[in-house]
Amino acid sequence: MRKRTLTVAGLERFLAQEVQALEELRRRREALAAELEGLRGAISQLRGAAPKAAARAVVRRKPARRARRRRRGRALRQVVAEILQKAGKPMRAAEIAEQLPAAGYQTKSKNPKNMISVMLAQAKDFRRVRKGLYTLKTRKEAQQAK
């Protein structure tokens, strides 16, 4: 296989051809965009809608995703378990929420009581004693759950 070498003049010609091809593609894109806009207008007239409203209706964006914050410190489940263990009795979510700052857990939640009640109902580490009252599962209960 023969190796092909280009001179500076050859490279300049090649570059000029590429620039010319790029300009031709840009002109073609603008012509197609103008034709597309004309078709949108014709479609909107047939539908009876305003042309700008029809063009806006075509563009749909995906909803923005919320960035997840990196958790710092201990997990809520660990802190709640410590609070329940120190209390030694069943507690309500509101009572636990009051003790969170003293336990060193910081939250930006507007309603930490709801956050705790959902976590207590879903986590397998806790047992519901009565409506609204939760306690830690004993080791025996935890082993039976597995």
Is the sign of the CA dihedral 42, 43, 45, 50 positive or negative? negative
- Burial class, 93, CB count within 10 angstroms (exposed 0-12 / middle 13-18 / buried 19+): buried
Dump pLDDT digits (tens) for 37-83: 998 888 888 887 655 554 555 566 777 776 666 666 788 899 999 99
Q: Are strands 133-136 and 126-130 parallel, antiparallel or unpaired?
A: antiparallel
105/97 Cα distance (integer angstroms): 10
Average pLDDT, rounded, for the chain: 83
Dump pLDDT digits (tens) for 111-123: 999 999 999 989 8
Q: Where along the chain do its domains lie?
A: 8-56, 76-145
136/71 Cα distance (integer angstroms): 24
Task: Tell me which of 84 and 2 has the higher pLDDT.
Answer: 84
pLDDT at 142: 64
pLDDT at 125: 87
CATH architecture of 76-145: Orthogonal Bundle (1.10)
